[in-house]
Structure 1
């Protein structure tokens, strides 16, 4: 591979550019008019403007993106995460043009893109799933009956949803039909699919995921566990690897289930299998057919550059020796331009930016000082990652690094991250997905 088009923006585009350049690969990015001066445009060897009536449209236009790849002589396309990263249509078009898709096959993406279909496939593969109910062509009474069978509290979820969009909690029957219509509408508006289903809500569950990689010789390798339980609005904000406070038997079962899930869909390249863990039980949540925002913590504890493995595997190289050894402990904290109390986006100019440096500190960022975080895109500014020999040392390093992080000109969640990492509950580990509600802010 000599030339790569990155169909994304922000932090992940800059992350892919960094590894590609280290491998001697020329990089090309696409961008909207609003991103003409953005960091990913400055970092790439070449940038292609895609005109659209809305800024996000530049990153959702399959034909324009693939045409840009052909016009600039790119041999491959890396989709990053978000936008079209889990689009079978983009993967298909890339293959039709004789280019290399950096990710799983279009067929695998199709199989796992619907949460309903994914649940069915995982049940067939013997992977435990959260009790739930499908709602195709269901009458109001059918829906109410399904809610009683699943049990409250429950989640109403869009089959094609993700990132916390198209998902609402319902605590009793009185609101079920109203919420169902809201989720159907969100599914149609954001994902072009209004299919919905019900799923039991596990009140004090942990969100544990396993990084998998499907190699070119047909193996599915796992690279350990990540704890992603620190969430606001159903979106992750802090992740760590490995997950602590789980029995060895449970860890082994989760890793085996993740590999079985990957094998069931002939998984290729990087992906993640997500689970909800409650006590000694675990349930399949979803499979993300792309690289994850939180992949750096896995890289830090394994020493594996996952983006490099993606690029090498995409052209048929056999990568990764199984099993992959996990050493030490890593924590990732996402710095957002958002109100730290209400967790609402707070765009603005990044007037002053100074990130911490030193041993065991890594920062992946999508902006430089002087850039503007707009209202058009996810307000993630940077990811602060720390690594140490053990979790206690990693938490201490995270506290110090957050204290050294300087950002001004706009409101960020930096104070909340500091309060979270300083809390006794986070220090103890093994927290559940409600931890953000218990942190004073």
Structure 2
């Protein structure tokens, strides 16, 4: 019987910080998992090295469900982003191994295709309305069928969602960057620039917007109502999602679709949101919600209540997570959309992947497993570079949700 012989944790910063787990079996088969938690990478790396790796050695890599339950229940202290990200890395690596042993891409092991490609959205942004419109035009020219639109609020430097380089990367300094925020200014301005996008480009594509947890439930209800005629695909994270009950108030006041869940880590964190149909899209992601095994449980529950998937997929997830997400997206019947940002060239020097983009859709080649390779030697050229996500402060100096 093949057993897990070795599990290695790599921390590198090819364009940004990533934590990668590589499991090797006694038969020499390797599997990769992403363990990146933006701004808290070393916490997950330590959880893996110091606590999970010793528990894996000698186990049967084919027993994915058993290992998942062992790591989750056996810790006693359950859930949370660090624990679930570490378990996800193990789980995804084991699915990668299982696919390679079977000689099949992972999506075939999950039941095969439910669709020919995975609809994605990318991120248009600007420092003002004209630059935002130029960026939307760029993505339309690239063939995207769905675009998220964000721009800086006048008078508020560093506002969320404004891309400063080739890709949007908010983790930007060795200590948290403190940025000003005014909910009142945002509520006055955001509907106007979303309306400008629709006025210039029409309704022949999906338009998305991320509120990023910054509103109270009644403020979010006001925002959703104000943009109903723009037919947003969704408003994302309108209010902090820890209080699932809060979404009931938003739902009572607007028909704008709601998406949330990227910072949530288990089926219990989204259970009420789904079963009471308080959201339209669940945004849990493979790397932060326990891997393929647990993410499928969340999506299966969502399917029963006509809630669709819309997984987080920014570049703070490595190409391993992107590939794993696409394998799941291809198979689940209630797929909605997948967030997507292309990784920078440095990232792709370390990770090689069979994921491809055409006409606003992602697809995979037929490589067994996940179809991703990790170049350890290339990674050595990119040492860990501490970066933190920003902190938002209201204009009176008090801390707000970023």
More strand by share: 1
TM-score > 0.5, shorter chain as reference: no
The higher-RCO structure (CA 8 Å, 6+ apart) is 2
Indicate the TM-score class for this superposition, using the shorter chain for normalisation: under 0.3
* TM-score, with length taken from structure 2: 0.27
